[in-house]
Amino acid sequence: MSTSTQTTWPEGVIARYLTVVGSTVDLSGKKYNTAGTCGGCQEEFSESNYIARDLSAARHWAQAHAEMCRALPRRGRP
């Protein structure tokens, strides 16, 4: 019997990565206009701070960030 719980993704989130401590890194947008935010440390990914032309660059950033981030989200923060 599984005891895991699922949470609803926020509107607009197209991909979600789990960090090593259970926070999430969320990607939103579209194939050529993708942004990302870490729910733990609040680091952001966007085309303005990272050379990105497509979703694969955003996915690469999200995966790499999720593998190393140990920041826990603040309670009550959206």
Residue 8 included in any domain: no
Residue 76 included in any domain: no
Residue 57 included in any domain: yes
Q: Is the pLDDT of residue 4 over 70?
A: no
Question: What is the domain range of residue 43?
Answer: 13-68
Residue 31 included in any domain: yes
Average pLDDT estimate for 49-67: 80
Q: What is the pLDDT of residues 7-32, one digit of tens each?
A: 789 999 999 999 999 999 999 987 77
Residue 58 included in any domain: yes
User: How many structural domains are present in the chain?
Assistant: 1
Taking the alpha carbons of 61, 77, 20, 22 in that order, is the dihedral positive or negative? negative
Residue 74 included in any domain: no
Q: What is the pLDDT of residues 38-55, one digit of tens each?
A: 999 999 987 655 545 568
